[in-house]
Amino acid sequence: MMEEEGIVVEAGGGAAKVRIDKKSACEGCSAAFICHPKEHDYVDVVNHIGASAGQKVKIEVRPEVYVKASVLLYGVPILVFLIVAVVGKIVSLRLLGERYSDLWAFGAACLFTVITFAVIIRYHRENRRAHTYEPEIVQILE
């Protein structure tokens, strides 16, 4: 389970914006510039427990949400790329012969991977109100 502590900056309507402070563990991480590009990072979270602005809270991302998001963002596009590359190779060999068949297969795989990402982005935007992939406040700390 991924947990962080932060301070609620804004709250309302079952959601909140939480400021996450950069931790000492981030300093030794090679990906720290991606996760925490500044001294503070702001995260939109689900606020079912009614935390208000100024309170210190613990937020978490449930493991099943983390795995589901990882499969959706990484697994599905890779699977689409591989399947379309193989099918594209077979189709281009039958229609065009050996010449440029690899290029056509690669182009088709890239095109369908971009389309896959577009579908994932649209899915995320449509389901954003459901807060499916957002972390949530689990505890108010004193």
The reply to whether 27 and 78 lie within a common domain is no
pLDDT at 15: 84
Give me the residues of the chain with pLDDT under 50, please. Answer: 24
State the pLDDT at residue 110: 97
Q: How many domains does the chain have?
A: 2
Residues 80 and 122 in one domain: yes
CATH number of the domain residue 11 falls in:
2.30.30.140
Q: What is the pLDDT of residue 22?
A: 66
Nearest to 62 by CA among 134, 15, 3, 1: 1
Write phi, then psi, for 46 (nearest 5 degrees). -85, 135
Q: Tell whether 41 and 81 lie within a shared domain.
A: no
- The domain in which residue 19 lies consists of 2-61+135-141
pLDDT of residue 67: 86
